[in-house]
Amino acid sequence: MPDLTLDSTTADPGASSAGAGAPASASQAMKAQLQLRESILSGDLPPSARLTEMAIVERLGMSRTPVRTALARLAEEGLLESSPGGGYSVRTFREQDVADAIELRGVLEGMLARRAAERGARRESLDAARQCLNDIDGVLAAATLDDEAISRYEQLNDVFHQCVQAMAQAPVLQRELDRVVKLPFASPSAFVIVDCHSRRARDMLTVAQHQHWQVLDAIAAREGARAEALLREHCRIAQRNLQVALHAAPDQPNAPGVSLIRRR
């Protein structure tokens, strides 16, 4: 891979019309961010690889402004870190650090679920969460899941977790959770599953969905302790999936991003 350091003094071909093209630039930055994230998690950009602005400009065929924004955002997410000589490098993570981040997410989400139950959620909020879970049930009706179904599950799963968090009306806890879920693999939708199209993977997601329904029932019944315990247990599924993916047999395909985790 080319090794080019960041040089913010060089003119950006797309910068002259920044005012008129701001929305387009933002769209390009998001596109660059998604493409780079996919390359990192797939292993196409390997752990510790040094990424520089001009190298990514050439790789993606974009101007420097959206690329610079995308690199900064990925650094905020935790996938990249600044290199001493300029530019960024792909981060690696200790297995224990990833496990701790997932556990911490479970603690914070559990507290938010408890708050939601104890304070009482509005009917509209409960109905929105139920509709989301009904949609997930529809996705999981198939015996196995294709790429489109997995993507749809991820989206709906994220929506459900956001619904629960919003019901809590606890901005301090929410802020701390927002910090945690930026870590790779700590987000509710950061699935780490070996062979995600298999029947076994679908069964694991079905178990997680059953827990979703239990959490929502506990919140509706204002059973705070039960809601908290259920969501903390829910995160243990992610922990188990991580262990399976990390210690899978060599002939089994690893889940996206597993190459970034350093084994014990």
Asked whether the beta carbons of 87 and 64 are under 8 A apart, the reply is no
Asked whether the beta carbons of 225 and 114 are under 8 A apart, the reply is yes
pLDDT digits (tens, 9 = 90+) for 145-170: 887 888 788 889 989 999 999 999 99
Coil/strand/helix, residue 51:
strand
pLDDT digits (tens, 9 = 90+) for 43-67: 889 988 999 999 999 999 999 999 9
Q: For position 6, what pLDDT does the model report?
A: 36
φ, ψ (nearest 5 deg) of residue 50: -90, 125
Q: Which of 57-61, 193-197, 212-216 has the lowest mean pLDDT?
A: 193-197
81: left (phi > 0), else alpha (psi -120 to 50), else beta? beta
Rounded distance, CA 165 to CA 172, Å?
Answer: 11
> Domains, the chain, ranges and CATH?
22-90 (1.10.10.10), 95-255 (1.20.120.530)
> What value does the mean pLDDT of the chain take?
82
For the entire predicted model, the pTM comes to: 0.69
pLDDT digits (tens, 9 = 90+) for 15-45: 444 444 555 667 888 889 888 988 887 788 9
Band (pLDDT 50/70/90 cuts) for residue 237 is confident
Rounded distance, CA 56 to CA 41, Å?
Answer: 16
pLDDT digits (tens, 9 = 90+) for 65-82: 999 999 998 888 788 999
Give the residue carrying structure tokens 């950061």.
Answer: 190
Instruction: Report CA torsion sign: 222, 226, 232, 237.
Output: negative
- More confident call, 205 vs 113: 113
φ, ψ (nearest 5 deg) of residue 16: -65, -30
